[in-house]
Amino acid sequence: MRLGMFMMPVHPPGRPMASTFEEDAEKSVLADQLGFDEVWMGEHFTATTEPYPSPMMFFAALLPRTRSITFGTAVINIPNHHPAVVAAEAAQFDHMCKGRFMMGVGPGGLVSDFELFKVPDVHGRNRMVVEATTMIQKIWTQDPPYDLLGEFWNIKITDAIMPELGVGFMPKPYQKPHPPISISLASPNSGSARTAAQQGWGMISANIIPTYSVATHWDLYSKACAELGKKPTGENWRVSRNVLVAPTDAEAEERVFGEQASNRYFFTYIRDVLNRVGILVILKPRPDMPDDEATPDVILKECVIYGSPKTVLDKLVAFRDRVGPFGTLLMTGMDWGGPNGAWERDGMRLLAQEVMPKFRQHVTASARSAKVDTGFASDRALT
């Protein structure tokens, strides 16, 4: 059971970019110091709330400031890029960080990015992800000539190849055969779960979706694996959640539901955005819930795991029992405005030092118990 940080802070729209970069860098360095295993950053071209067109550029600045934390893109929105550019830049960064890199990919989720890059069709974007990522893997594992033909892109270097001069060769990653690849999932019964099973990729379940929706990801992935003759494993499944740990339950509730709370701001903001684009259902604890009942308070109670260390441990155990055997918990980073910086630093420390050791013990004990009971590792057990 690994612990990571997912950077989807939703900073206030008017904050200067430089200050958000400084804050998120400080948060990443703190995660490294506290023993977090991973830090993931999203990609948006047209949102001042999450102003990161290049997560790898952000990570590159963190290399001399961190020791062991692994960096992940959550995600590179493939329809915004030519796959050859992604392949080359990701290979470069993998060498720069000596293999501390995981590549998350996805179709994107920001309507203004869709308009900018002229990719409005969701089905087309999903096909682009599979096509481009397959091409990237081929680039990473072969020498020229390259002759990759697809529905959306053609990648070809067949003439201008000079082996003795190194001309015509695309860069290969530091990790062999390539960095681990994961795909994002942000809706119930997401077809990306099936894609992950088919392609052998990991999954990253979004933080903004309710518990039942996360559970559908494992169910669909497991069924797809069974159809393919594979044994499903949660080892490469990452689940993002808003987690807030405080010294007491009462303090945690105030830090989540209070008027100054970044979690309240975050889900109020996300609810407004998704409501305006007609997909509020993504946030609803029940898909048949009327819109007016899906208030920020209702969504907060569903999507935030909060409380004292003991309460959060109990909630994490119950959550994992409900959704399936994910192998990494990704805590969502929030904006540090007002008192939230102190609250989140406190929460990160309590989660890493007081909750996760016991959560890991529980996961390991459950896996061993399943082996004793069945004679083999249960599909729902993970060591």
User: Is 257 a member of any domain?
Assistant: no
Q: What's residue 144's pLDDT?
A: 98
**Considering all CA atoms of the chain, what is the largest pairwise distance in Å, rounded to the nearest integer?**
68
DSSP per residue, 135-164: HHHHHHH-PSPEEEE-SS-EEEESSS-BGG
What is the extent of the structural domain holding 167?
2-240+323-374
User: Is 298 a member of any domain?
Assistant: no
Number of domains present in the structure of the chain? 1
User: Is 270 a member of any domain?
Assistant: no
User: Is 159 a member of any domain?
Assistant: yes
Q: What's residue 60's pLDDT?
A: 98
Q: What's residue 208's pLDDT?
A: 97
Taking phi over 0 as left and psi of -120 to 50 as alpha, with beta for the rest, 308 belongs to beta
User: Is 328 a member of any domain?
Assistant: yes
Q: Read off the CATH number of the domain in which 154 is found.
A: 3.20.20.30
User: Is 76 a member of any domain?
Assistant: yes
Enter the tokens of residue 127.
């096909």
Q: What's residue 369's pLDDT?
A: 79
pLDDT tens, per residue, the chain with 383 residues: 999 999 987 999 999 999 999 999 999 999 999 999 999 999 999 999 999 999 999 999 999 999 999 999 999 999 999 999 999 999 999 999 999 999 999 999 999 999 999 999 999 999 999 999 999 999 999 999 999 999 999 999 999 999 999 999 999 999 999 999 999 999 999 999 999 999 999 999 999 999 999 999 999 999 999 999 999 999 999 999 999 999 999 999 999 999 999 999 999 999 999 999 999 999 999 999 999 999 999 999 999 999 999 999 999 999 999 999 999 999 999 999 999 999 999 999 999 999 999 999 999 998 887 766 655 444 444 43
User: Is 81 a member of any domain?
Assistant: yes
Using CA atoms, how far apart are residues 319 and 363, in angstroms rounded to an integer?
A: 12
Nearest to 63 by CA among 97, 103, 29: 97
Q: Are 233 and 382 in contact (CB under 8 A)?
A: yes
Q: What's residue 374's pLDDT?
A: 53
User: Is 283 a member of any domain?
Assistant: no
pTM for the full model?
Answer: 0.95
Q: What's residue 382's pLDDT?
A: 44
